[in-house]
Structure 1
Amino acid sequence: MDIKVEMRVVNCPLCGGRRSEPLYREDPYQMVRCSNCQFIFANPRPTLDFLYDHYQRYFPEGEEEREAWRKMMKPVFNRAAQLILKYRERGRLLDVGTGFGFFLEEMRKRGWEVFGVEISQKAITYAREVLGLTIYSGPFETLSLRDEEFDVISGFYVIEHLPEPMKFLRKCYTLLKPDGLLFLRYPHTTPIKTLLRFFGIENRLYDLPSHLSDFSPKLLQGAVERVGFHRVQHLIGGYTLPKPLGKRVASIFFGSLSEGVFYLSGRHFLLPGVSKSLLAFKGERP
């Protein structure tokens, strides 16, 4: 059964620009490129009410699917934990879009005081009742939390889902302690879309309407620096392990390839099209 989606036209979420050029369609949705800053985002896009309902159905229901989700993300979570521990041995961590809370569980094992933010009620229930985690319910940007409360804020595959990524980054800045650490994991889909289109291969890799934007490392770094973060690092940060064998092999191959290229280039070259991690520290507000 088709679901009627109410859509609205928006300005560029990064620079506020009104002009854009169509880039790709994944009916009934469309990704465009801002004519001013080159940011790629969904326009028009679904309403906030539609997106909230969408995320109530986003996560898997059964235990088997939930465990597959845990196993898929475990290598990335472990790499992120190791990286964070290089800079902070202990502290208070907030994970935004925490899902079932599996990253919080990993950091709690390492002695951290952990908190999560989530809007999916089924994920919140599991994280609270099964894992015993502290989870804030609702959109992150509207939560009432104390300023400078956290040593680390993390977000795994979250920023591309957000209607207002700059508002999210400003909130992260406000909640972090001085010199606090921001860790973001994000996809970089457009180079793969471009390659597949060259070969005439149809796909829906943007995963609309779940993903509302596609950040390049350059644009994401510019966004976090504009908010006041500095000492920005981009890393490959491991790869996921999806359950389907073909996707798992592809993830391992391209993840390993991108890691190799990154380190052989002296940590300068990030292979386009693969997921990446960003690490940044809170500096003086500009």
Structure 2
Amino acid sequence: MFLRCPVCEREVEEGKYTETYVSPFNNQEYKLYHCNSCDLQWWEPLKIIPEFYENEGEEGYLVFHLGIREELREDHKIFFDKLPLKSGRLLDVGCGDGIFLKEAEKAGFDVWGIDLDKKSIEVCQKKVGLEKHLPYEPEGVCHIR
């Protein structure tokens, strides 16, 4: 049996996962797959559980909800160092508490954020003054490419 890569839709053998993880939140087993064609790594099943984020199933989400994080993560810093663009419309998918959006706005971008965690969106709006957020509605997205 085969799975399809969520990005390039190439076939990946179902038994060729690289890692497993059992979530203490829901006892679900997740398998990490790698697509050799586009180099994407993703977990199966692709199941979103909003309550996990909103109930602070991981310590990091409590930090998002309190709005106390003040420093960008290293991958965010690299984004600003490496991206050739210095302005334009920027959508942060999984914007969390908005710290990245705040920095992107300072850098000259017209920022938008989307997150499935309503508590993080509230913090993001307060922290960034962001009114242009997109509520995550799984049934409202038919295709992203």
Name the TM-score class by shorter chain.
0.5 to 0.7
Give the whole-Å Cα distance in 1 for the aligned partners of 2:35 and 2:127.
Answer: 47
Q: Which residue of structure 2 aligns with residue 91 of structure 1? A: 88
Give the whole-Å Cα distance in 2 for the aligned partners of 1:54 and 1:79.
Answer: 28
In the alignment, structure 1 residue 131 sits paired with structure 2 residue 128: yes
Structure with higher Rg: it is 1
Give the whole-Å Cα distance in 1 for the aligned partners of 2:98 and 2:112.
Answer: 9
Give the letter for the 1:55 counterpart. Answer: Y
Q: Which residue of structure 1 aligns with residue 4 of structure 2? A: 12
Per-residue deviation, 1:93: 1.4
1:241-280 equivalent positions in 2, closer than 5 A: none
| Superimposed CA distance per residue, residues 149-202 of structure 1 (whole angstroms, 9 cap, x where no aligned partner) | xxxxxxxxxxxxxxxxxx54x1xxxxxxxxxxxxxxxxxxxxxxxxxxxxxxxx
Q: Which residue of structure 2 aligns with residue 199 of structure 1? A: none
Per-residue deviation, 1:102: 0.8
Which of the numbers 4, 8, 20 marks the counterpart of 1:25? 20
| Superimposed CA distance per residue, residues 185-239 of structure 1 (whole angstroms, 9 cap, x where no aligned partner) | xxxxxxxxxxxxxxxxxxxxxxxxxxxxxxxxxxxxxxxxxxxxxxxxxxxxxxx
1:117-266 equivalent positions in 2, closer than 5 A: 117-133=114-130, 134-139=132-137, 142=140, 167-168=143-144, 170=145
Which structure has the higher relative contact order (CA within 8 Å, separation 6+)?
1
| Contact residue 17 and residue 34 of structure 1 kept, 8 A | no
The aligned length equals 129
Give the letter for the 2:128 counterpart. Answer: L
Relative to structure 1, the CA distance from residue 47 to residue 77 in structure 2 (aligned partners, 3 Å threshold; closer, same or farther) is closer
Per-residue deviation, 1:29: 0.9
| Contact residue 95 and residue 114 of structure 2 kept, 8 A | yes
Taking structure 1 as the reference length, what is the TM-score of the superposition?
Answer: 0.36
| Contact residue 92 and residue 113 of structure 2 kept, 8 A | yes
Cα RMSD after superposing both structures:
3.6
Give the whole-Å Cα distance in 2 for the aligned partners of 1:72 and 1:52.
Answer: 24
1:37-56 equivalent positions in 2, closer than 5 A: 41-43=42-44, 45=45, 47-48=47-48, 51-56=49-54
Give the whole-Å Cα distance in 2 for the aligned partners of 1:143 and 1:25.
Answer: 28
Per-residue deviation, 1:31: 1.6
Per-residue deviation, 1:112: 2.0
Where in structure 2 are there 5+ consecutive unaligned residues? 23-27
Give the letter for the 1:26 counterpart. Answer: Y
Give the whole-Å Cα distance in 1 for the aligned partners of 2:78 and 2:29.
Answer: 34
Taking structure 2 as the reference length, what is the TM-score of the superposition?
Answer: 0.64
Greater share of residues in helix: 1
